[in-house]
Amino acid sequence: AKSRGRSFYPRYHQAMNERRRDLVRLQSDLYRALECEQFSVVYQPKVCLQSGNIVGAEALLRWQHEEHGAVSPAEFIPLAESSGLIESIGEWVLASASSQSRAWHEEGLPPFLVSVNLSGRQLQMGSLVERVRFVLDNTGLDPEQLELEVTETFLMQDISQSLILLEEIKALGVRLAIDDFGTGYSSLNYLHRLPIDTLKIDRSFIVDLERSSETYDLVRNVIHMSHDLGLRVVAEGVETQVQLDMLRELACDEIQGYYFSPPVSPEAFRRLLAQQRVF
């Protein structure tokens, strides 16, 4: 079947080979990107639906490649994971976002929570807890001002193992969010066992909110149940006023999405935060 496929789809295979070559090249470029300072962190505001204030920001990694320009994290994060590089890149993001946030707090800007993504691979390193503690000590960021986002898919792989790890991370005093909620095969039933503070509803549900009454009901149930468990709920990928109104109606706590702001440079985020300064 393989050789038949090859002769029937030569273009496809040629494209595949080119793509594979590109990926190998991109992976070796990743090794140099850290030293060459091609990475940066952008910040996407999270807005409280009750007050309308920015109450948090998700730190998102950006890579400016010397030839290709901006490379999407959706493309290079998996490469960084398979090569093991995500451990040092992830720690760099954590340190960068933590020291930046600390500086903003010092400046007297309104309080906000900074959220940093942890990849499954980082969660599997034995030294994660020590590394997070190291970064907190070094940057002087108050642990309560840091939230770590962990995907639902990772947590679901081994709930009892995840529970042990999350308890250890929680003991540092940081907050924990479950990311991309709804994309894995989970029921809400196990949530009460996990020491999490925040649940982020995946963008795919927000997209369907207006069109599908089933999705609407599902999101309502997720929000109600989360609140019963004392969790804050963040809706991801909010792009329209209609979505915002529906989420407010459902008592969702916070929104994140292009409707309010895309991820922006540190300078631009600082300006947004400073605008709501209360004297």
Mapped onto helix, strand or coil, the DSSP state of residue 9 is: coil
**Length of the chain counted residue by residue:** 279
Positions 93 through 132 that interact with Ca ion (CB under 5 A): 117
29 versus 233: smaller Cβ distance to Ca ion? 233
- Whole-number Å distance between alpha carbons of 197 and 127: 23
x/- mask, Ca ion, residues 177-216, rule CB under 5 A, reads: --xx------------------------------------
Distance of CA 185 to the CA centre of its chain: 19
182 is a contact residue toward ligand C2E (CB under 6 A): no
Minimum CB distance to ligand C2E, residue 214 (Å): 22
162 is a contact residue toward ligand C2E (CB under 6 A): no
Q: Are strands 254-256 and 146-151 parallel, antiparallel or unpaired?
A: unpaired
179 is a contact residue toward ligand C2E (CB under 6 A): yes
- Whole-number Å distance between alpha carbons of 71 and 68: 7
72 is a contact residue toward ligand C2E (CB under 6 A): yes
Q: What are phi and psi of 101, to 5 degrees?
A: -65, -45
With CB under 6 A as the rule, give the number of residues binding ligand C2E: 21
- Whole-number Å distance between alpha carbons of 201 and 220: 11
60 is a contact residue toward ligand C2E (CB under 6 A): yes
With CB under 5 A as the rule, give the number of residues binding Ca ion: 5
Both tokens of 134, joined, read 């190291």
x/- mask, ligand C2E, residues 9-28, rule CB under 6 A, reads: --------------------
Minimum CB distance to Ca ion, residue 143 (Å): 19
DSSP 111: P
Nearest to 262 by CA among 38, 40, 46: 46
Cβ neighbourhood burial of 116 (10 Å; 0-12, 13-18, 19+): buried
Q: Which does 1 bind (CB under 5 to 8 A by kind): ligand C2E, Ca ion, none?
A: none
Binding residues (CB under 5 A) for Ca ion: these are 117, 149, 179-180, 236
Binding residues (CB under 6 A) for ligand C2E: these are 44, 60-61, 72-74, 77, 90, 93, 117, 119, 179-180, 203, 237-239, 256-258, 263
